[in-house]
Structure formats: C-alpha cells, structure tokens
Structure 1
Amino acid sequence: MVRQTLKLMQSVSQLAGQENERSESTRHVSNLLGQQLIRVMSGNNTSSDHCVSVSLDLHEPMCTVTPLILEEKVEMGKTATDPSAQVQLSYLQYWMDPSRRNILEACCCPTILVGLAGPHMCIMGAVLLDKTVVQHFTGWMFIGEDRTTGLDQVNDLGSPGVDRLAQGRHFGRFFPWIDSYPSNGQVIKFDYIKGLQQHESCTTFLARKVVDGEKEELVVIKFVDTYSKKVHEFMAEEGLAPRLIYFVDLADRFSEQNYQGLSMVVMEHLEGDTLEAKYWDRALPSDVRGSIAQAIETLAKAGFVHGDLRRPNVMIDSEGKVKIIDFDWAGREMEVRYPLRISSFLFPENQGIEGRGEIRNAHDKFMLELL
C-alpha cells in the first residue's frame, strides 16, 4: 500500500499538458484500489473519466454498477470545470440512467466520488435520498511528492486504515440507519416515517416504536452535534418542552464507529404545529406571545438560555400550550456560544449576536420581539 502510494505521488508530481498524459496516475490509483478503472457510458452519451465497475446478478439480465467515480483534470485551475463538482454531476447522470432504475428504486446508490487535479485530490461520498446528498470526506489534499518531508508524508497518506482494510469488508450501521435505543433493560425498535425538515441537511425524523411486531406510539428521533440534555429535561419538567425519552453520545454507544461527536436524541412526539406552520407570517396572538415570554423567564431564573427562539422552534400543542423545542444551542448563560456561522438576517449583529459570541438571556428576549 505504501509503495503504491509513493508511485502515485511521484506520478502526479510530474507536469502534464493534456488529460491523456495523466494515464499513469490513473493506473496507480487503480492499483491502490485493486480494481480496474473504466469508462461507463450513460444513455445520453456522457461518461465520467473513470469508474470502478461491479457486476450484479439480480436474477435478471446481468447489470453493472459503480461504487466509485473519478473525474480528473490536468492541473488545478487549468480548465473551467472543477473536478469535484464535475464528479457530482457524473454521479447523478450515472444513476439517473433508465437502465439502472431497478437499483435506484431498491437502494440509496452509495458511491465514493474522487476528484483529481494534478497533485491535488479530494474524496467525497454520495447517496440519493429525496435529494442528492454529498459529503466531503476530505478537502483538496496535496498528494504530490514533497522531498522536504521525507518518508513521513508517504506513510501519512498510505498507511492510515490499512489495519481495518486487512480485516475485510465491514458494514456497520451508520446514520440514518440506527433503528433502536435501549430503555429499562430492553431494546426499543422503531421505524422511520419521514423527515421533519424540508432542507437536505434534515437530521430530525418522525418514527414509530415497534414492540413485539406491533406498531406503537410516535417518537421524534434527532441526530445532533451539540445539544443540552440538561436544559431540555428542565423545560420538560416545567411542562414547556416534549418529554426527553433517550439521549446518548453515539461515540459511547458505538465505540467501533466514528461518529465525530454526533449524539442521538429521542423525544415524545407532540400533536400540534410550530409557530411557522400555524401562523406563517401573521402576527402572534397576545396570549401565545405571553406564554413564550414566561418560558423565557423560566429559563432565565434557572440561569439557562435557549439561543435559537425562532418560529420553527416553538410549538403549540393540541391543547393550545406553548412548547419549546430544539435545544441544540441551549445551556448556561454566557457559558454556551453561538456557532461560528450564523445568519445575520435571522440573528442581527447589532444586538450583540455574532458567531462564537456568548449567548445571553437578553438575546432570547430580543428574539421574542422578532417572532
């Protein structure tokens, strides 16, 4: 693996004037993968630069699929097309081909995407859900040979993950396929029903518990980078939030997987609507606004802040009571901070609300004025 990595590094370090002069680099990538790289034509007579092709026997005419697509350019900036963007388009064209419809309808078409531009490489993963979802596993990495760093550079690029590769294929259950949680010594299974947000980064789902094969109550499943279990439980005890059923850092629950700080939240499902769904751009009734003000005061007396009091994060339940949801940014006042990137349109900076700034109770009160 390390020797093949060195050959690739040496190859991409050579200057090239045309894409076909990069054939040696492609051969080294193929050797590293242990798979032949080929061109696969789509029905509209387009093709990606290189693919790994795998034959599948689906008890019908043999078909091929590609678990990896690679787009290559001579050098970074030599052409008008970014290979990392082009490979995403190639992915979509490949799987939209009518000849692959049966596979498209049976799975989410997971594919590794690789962009190669001279001595620079980026690696991504893509799946087809209700939209195309692409995750960057790396940025643009320099993989050319740098003699000033010596052998360490080759080892850094070529040796990570070798031990895991030697164990053979291992398909763990990754989000969003976690379908259970422990409760009182039992494992509670659930079935996902739908996402509760419209955008492609949705990580909140409606699900139904399944006990002994029987479908039971609805729950909300959420996967988050940050979350205040303490504030959620406090507000639930005050009757101002849905009941928190389960919370865990997934790195603790699945130590063999890399969840990068992701946590799982399970809470009761409330019958009702968010302020956004119920009132849209209409003014809030005075009693609703008053109930939200009381909720903010309850938080403040306990020394807590919410930090994201917008219409999508406040609900009116079936009994007409106000419930606060989404405790991703919540915590102790002046101990928790806003994310680095926040919308200045939604969170005006002239109120002291800024990226990485301290979250204060005054900010919650100001957000109430904007509801």
Structure 2
Amino acid sequence: FKPFRDVSCCPCLLVAIAGPNIMVGGAVYAEQIIATSFTSYISIAPLDVPGPRPMYDAAIWRAARLMRALKQATVALDEHYAAVTQALNVASARSADRLPTCYVGPHLTHVSANGTAISLDYTGRLCTGEPAKTLYTARARITSDPEQDPRETDVVVKFTKAYSLEGHRLLAVHGLAPKLWFCEWVESVDMYVVVMNHVRDAETADEDVAMSAADAAAVRTAVELLHAEGLVFGDLRGPNVLLRKDGGPLLIDFDWCGPEGTACYPLGVNMHSAIPWHPDVNTGALIKKEHDLHLLKVLTGS
C-alpha cells in the first residue's frame, strides 16, 4: 500500500442513497482523509417542476445527467489508477528506480496578476492539526519580465473566504506584514488565494514570548497605519503577530480586517472567557478601533 500511497492521493467517489435521492461526493488521502460533497441530494423520483415539462421527463433528465457524470468520473478514476499501477510496475521491474514521492497539494498551481505570473510547487501544509486552516508552503517561480529568468522563493499560500488586500498591502509596504505576491478571489477554488513570503525563524507573540519595547512600538505603528486609512484589524492577538529575531514584528491573518463601519466579527467567533476581548465584542458585531486598541494594550502591556 505505501508505494501506491506515496505517488497517489487515492481519489474515490462517494455515493449516498436515501430512498429515491442520490448524493455524490468524493474523497482523497492527503495528510489525512479529505471528503466533500459534489452535489446536494438529487431525486430520481418524479417531482413537480416549474414550466411545461412533464414531471416524468424532468426525472429522466435528472437521472440521465447524474449517471452520465458518474460514468465519466469512473472512467477518469480508472485511467488514473491504471497509469499509477503501470508506473509502479515499471519502477519495480527496474529495481533501482523509484518513483518520486508526490505531495498532495491544491490543484491551483498557477496564478497571475498585473503582468506577474507565479507557478507554485507545494511542499507541505501548515497547521495540520487544524483542518479548517488551509495554509500551504510552496516553492514559487515568479516571472514579471519574460526576458529575465524567473525568481524563486519560498512562500505561504493561504485559501480563505475573506481577506483584506488593502490592509495587508498597506502594512507590507511599511515592512510590518509579509511581502505579498498575490491576493485575489479565484473562481476555480471559490476563495481568496493569498501568496506571501514564508517567514522563517519567527515566533508568535504568545504568552511564552516576551515582546520588546521596540516590537511593541512597531505593532502600535501597524495599528495606527490601519486606523489612519479607516481600517480595523479585529483579531490582534498573539498568534497573529510574528516576532522575528531580526527585522521586527509582522502582522498576519487579515481575514477580519476591513473598513470600520462595515467589517464585522464572524458569527463563529470564539467568545471563550479566556480570550481578552473588548467587552463590546460579540458575534456579528461591528469591529471598532477601540477594540484593536484594547487588544494592543493586552498584547504589549502598554
């Protein structure tokens, strides 16, 4: 099993049947098993439908489309497993050869904006213990001038439903956030894709790491820069501040950042009493500058 697992994410289809209803999903084996649904439940029973089409015709069309899609998917899976099996057999016959282990990363490997093209070779995943956080490390080849060789650098690629390009870019210009290479909504993944420099040799500003006066002043400057542009940060806690040995602190995670008056706390915000939120913070409430200043005081002690 391991040789096969090393070169394939072992994709499969999942089909759930409840009475006359069928739902199709899929799963892959990455760092862990990832499963998702591709459809909602599709009824193959006659149901009344809008318009002049007879309900039996509509049911037949629904069933036919579903079966055709399943047939095409199973053919693609058969081709994948046949190719992998053949490659493994060839490598085994040569004994000295071994297929390179593949990393199962996102399908999105190319992005471009403003004349800069970026190709991504994923190398790992950050926060593997938190499946909801989709953060990957990658080696990026960045081409901004076709007549020059691409630049290669290590990056972090983040996939998220909300992100403040304006806030991140503002602080990156002042050296208070990681250099930003790309940040746009990408339709094929239905999320924002954020490509930024991978910051190494840094610790988060948690309770076990003392923040120097210089670092505290820099974090305050970052907050003041955001506020001067009418932006609020929202989640100014230790895990979102990187402390570098040389170079000063960097703010990360601009998911909640946005214009004051419209940016809100998510409905799923953790309101545990151990988190030192401002007393006015609540699920769905507007994020205010005084909330940032409150967390700044908690974080820096001043």
Q: TM-score, normalised by structure 1?
A: 0.58
Unaligned 5+ runs, structure 2: 78-103, 143-147
- Please report how far the alpha carbon of residue 352 of structure 1 lies from its aligned counterpart in structure 2 after TM superposition: 2.8
Residue of structure 1 aligned with 2:111, choices 170, 177, 181:
181
Structure 1: gaps (5+ residues): 1-99, 252-257
Q: How does 1:58-207 map to 2 (within 5 A)?
A: 100-138=1-39, 141=41, 143=43, 145=45, 147-149=47-49, 151=55, 154=59, 157-158=62-63, 176-182=106-112, 185=115, 187-198=117-128, 199-207=130-138
Residue aligning to 1:273: 202
**Structure 1 residues 309, 124: CA separation in 2 closer, same or farther (over 3 Å shift)?**
farther
8 Å contact kept, 1:299–1:305: yes
Distance apart, 1:284 and its partner CA: 3.9
Partner in structure 2 of residue 359 of structure 1: 287
Against the structure 1 CA distance between its residues 209 and 349, is the aligned structure 2 distance closer, same or farther, given a 3 Å change threshold? closer
Kindly report which structure 2 residues correspond to 1:1-371, keeping only aligned pairs within 5 A, or say none: 100-138=1-39, 141=41, 143=43, 145=45, 147-149=47-49, 151=55, 154=59, 157-158=62-63, 176-182=106-112, 185=115, 187-198=117-128, 199-210=130-141, 216-251=152-187, 258-260=188-190, 262-276=191-205, 279-281=206-208, 284-345=211-272, 351-371=279-299
- Equivalent AA in structure 2 for residue 143 of structure 1: S
CA distance in 1, matches of 2:297, 2:58: 55
Q: CA deviation at 1:324?
A: 0.8
**How many Å separate the matches in 1 of 2:38 and 2:287?**
31
- Amino-acid identity (%): 29
Q: Which residue of 2 aligns with 1:47?
A: none
1:160/1:351 CA distance change after superposition, 3 Å: farther
Cα separation, partners in 2 of 1:350 and 1:289, compared to 1, 3 Å: closer
CA contact (8 A) 2:278 2:295 kept: no
Q: The residue matched to 1:105 in structure 2 has which SS?
A: helix
Distance in 2 (alpha carbons) for counterparts of 1:201 and 1:331: 22
1:143 is displaced (CA, Å) by 2.7
Aligned-residue CA RMSD (Å): 3.7
Distance 2:64 2:258 in 1: 41
Listed one character per residue, the Cα deviations across residues 7-42 of structure 1 (whole Å, up to 9, x for unaligned) are xxxxxxxxxxxxxxxxxxxxxxxxxxxxxxxxxxxx
Cα deviation, residue 231, structure 1: 1.2
Please say if residues 16 and 22 of structure 2, whose CA atoms lie closer than 8 Å, have aligned partners that are also in contact.
yes
Structure 2 counterpart SS, 1:351? coil
What are the Cα deviations for residues 141-180 of structure 1, in whole angstroms up to 9, with x where unaligned?
Answer: 3737465556286378447689988999889xx9713223
Between the aligned partners of 2:266 and 2:67, the Cα distance in structure 1 is 35
Q: CA deviation at 1:292?
A: 2.0
Q: 1:210 to 1:298 in 2, by over 3 A?
A: closer
* Equivalent pair of 1:274/1:311 in contact (CA under 8 Å): no
User: What is the alpha-carbon distance in structure 2 between the residues aligned to residue 344 and residue 138 of structure 1?
Assistant: 33
Aligned residues between the structures:
260
CA distance in 2, matches of 1:340, 1:303: 23
Tell me the CA shift for residue 214 of structure 1. 8.5
State whether residues 314 and 322 of structure 1, in contact with CA within 8 Å, keep that contact through their aligned partners in structure 2: yes
TM-score, structure 2 normalization: 0.70
Q: Secondary structure of 2:7's partner?
A: coil
- Alpha-carbon separation, structure 1, partners of 2:72 and 2:189: 20
- Residues 349, 284 of structure 1: alpha-carbon distance in 2 compared, 3 angstrom cutoff: closer
Tell me, in whole angstroms, the C-alpha distance in 1 between the residues paired with 2:268 and 2:65.
31
CA distance in 2, matches of 1:349, 1:324: 18
Instruction: Quote the Cα distance in structure 1 between the aligned partners of 2:181 and 2:106.
Output: 19
